[in-house]
Chains A and B, each alone.
Chain A
Amino acid sequence: MLSMLDIERIRADFPILGRKVRNGKRLIYFDNAATTQKPKQVIDAIYNYYMNYNANIHRAVHQLSEEATEAYEGSRAKVARFINAKSDEIIFVRNATEAINLVAYAWGRANIRAGDTIVVSEMEHHSNIVPWQILAREKGARLHYIRIDHDTNTSRDDHEKGEGGDSGGDGSLILDDLYHAISHGNVKLLAISHMSNVLGNINPVKEMVEICRDKGIRVLVDGAQSAPHMPVDVKDIDCDFFAFSAHKMLGPTGVGILYTKREILDAMDPFLGGGDMIREVHKYDAVWNDLPWKFEAGTPNIADVIGFGAAVDYLNTIGMENVRLYEDELTRYMLSRLTEVKGLRLYGSMDADRRGAVFSFNLADIHPHDLATILDEDGIAIRSGHHCAQPLMERLGVAATSRASLYIYNTKEEIDRFIDSLERARLIFKVGG
């Protein structure tokens, strides 16, 4: 378990946390579900690459290229170990969105046919909806949604009574919808988020894989919000694809990771053609390179992959169990403080065991953008809007929510300041009660 001293040490690794914003306010960064800050170890690793061994990887024999290749492939090995995969099952792309698109194009086009069903859920990020819409339209397949437990009729009343909590449903997935889809259609793929970027709810992906396993249904898990915050073991989950993003876990932007089971990768055709993904090229045909390079055409984002390796090292030093435990403590504290704020409605589970430290809410009739403006003035960075989850917003019956999302460097004291700022917003907007 991490002590406050440990957290202070961690905070000291993040130069940006010392920054003052908006007329001298100390920055409180609560927008971690969008992107996290970077420790100096990560910044240094990128700097060091450019300063000392910048070279293209894989095919040169000179020393710089050897060093760069070793660092780049070293990152792949670290990432593989981080989620209990093998190195040749890890493909580097630009972000989690590209990872999902890679599956949609390379696997989906070859395996989804007219009349097939792709199952997603109402809480998915647009990145786990739109690629399947495109694929379904192209193939004449259909999209089926697992609903969330949410009673839209009660939300308005709760809102007006000023009650927080989950009386209108806690947003958990209605698994019966998955069973129903399987028994009524030819389901080929389940694409499901591990942790909702809006509700914070953690979905029972292992159980869902089990439901799909003997039906020949492939499962893609969108781990963009889970991999940064809890231990992930893809062999234990037993999913076929797992996508996540470096920049949401202390790493740089521009690096996404797609894990795919070896047997599926072997049978998959490349997504992009070009250099590095081939073994031999002749005038009219080519032989693909080995895994995973078959899926990494062109010069990759070498510097940032190396930077991401440093981020994985950093997280491993803390320990992902410790990250989860500390965020669990923050979550419990945040939940208890949020329920004190009159007129606040929280979306998502109230059970800390079943959620991460992502909190979406609305405060009385204050629009999320107005709320974010007021908080920003106090130096507090939150996000407001639809969070790239418009179908979920529609289901919740709201146009937008405010979202505070925490990470390992946040503290209870920051939560207190955040709650004070919410109270200030209530005063400015003259919210009664």
Chain B
Amino acid sequence: MDMSSADIYREIILDYYRNPRNYGRLEAPDVVVRDTNPLCGDEVEMHIKFEDGRIKDIRFNGKGCAISQASASMLTEMVMGKSLEEVKGLGRQDILEALGLPNLGPARIKCALLSLKVFKLGIYSYLAEKIGEDEASSIKDEATKLF
């Protein structure tokens, strides 16, 4: 089903776009990870701090369209304080539902999923150091399979 832009750009997305939560950088992050969507030029960078197997703190910064930036901001809220076990299962549908865009078309889906990709790469880079690259590689695969 096609969505109209009145659906896509609902109040909540515009609100997160203009007043992003958890925007910025962390002083001493365990992980800094950044990726771009080459098609659009959207950029998302995440700073993550871990403690006792949990996301202690997370910030994002970047530039891009309303969908990419709102999605990044929402994701930081979704994972804040969560355990690694809890966030490992986070998938594309979780993000699309949080955005309220379950049927986003192929042209824009990468905008929505960039933040999830960056986040998963962040978890990977943390775990790769903790438990080894091979053991953590499934998370990297998940990240790169998003698009």
Contact = CB atoms under 8 A, between A and B. Distances in A.
Contacts of A310: none
Contacts of B107: 373
A386 interface: yes
Contact of B14 (A384, A425, A430): A430
Given A386-B41, A400-B40, A430-B14, A367 B65 contact: yes
A192 to B, nearest CB: 25
A382 B6 CA distance: 19
B108 A373 contact: yes
A374 B43 CA distance: 21
Given A365-B18, A367-B65, A399-B41, A429 B4 contact: no
Contacts of B111: 369
Nearest to A430: B14
Pick from A368, A369, A430 the residue with the most CB of B within 10 Å: A369
Contacts of B18: 365
Which of A367, A368, A425 has the largest count of B CB atoms less than 10 A from its CB?
A: A367
Nearest to B69: A367
B67 interface: yes
A428 B66 contact: no
A385 interface: yes
A22 B111 CA distance: 21
Interface in B107-126: 107-108, 111
Interface in B12-51: 14, 18, 39-43
A399 B108 contact: no
Contacts of A210: none
B64 interface: yes
A399 B5 contact: no
Contact of B5 (A23, A377, A386, A400): A377
Contact of A385 (B2, B41, B66): B41
A6 interface: no
A370 interface: yes
A424 to B, nearest CB: 8
A385 B40 contact: yes
A154 to B, nearest CB: 20
A367 B14 contact: no
Given A399-B41, A399-B43, A400-B41, A370 B65 contact: yes
Interface string A366-382: 11111001100100000
A400 B64 CA distance: 9
B8 interface: yes
B63 interface: yes
Contacts of A385: 39-41
Contacts of B63: 399
Interface string A347-373: 000000000000000000111111001
A399 B6 contact: no
B66 A370 contact: yes
Contacts of B67: 369-370
B40 A429 contact: no
A290 B66 CA distance: 56
Interface of A: 22-23, 365-370, 373-374, 377, 384-386, 399-400, 425, 428-430
29 contacts: A22-B2, A23-B2, A366-B66, A367-B64, A368-B65, A369-B64, A369-B65, A369-B67, A369-B108, A370-B9, A370-B65, A370-B66, A370-B67, A373-B5, A373-B8, A374-B5, A377-B4, A384-B40, A385-B39, A385-B40, A385-B41, A399-B41, A399-B63, A399-B64, A400-B41, A428-B5, A428-B6, A429-B9, A430-B14
Given A373-B108, A377-B5, A399-B63, 5 more contacts: A368-B65, A370-B9, A377-B4, A386-B41, A430-B14
Listed from nearest, the 10 A-B pairs whose CB atoms lie closest are A367-B65, A369-B65, A374-B5, A370-B65, A399-B63, A370-B66, A369-B40, A428-B9, A400-B41, A386-B41
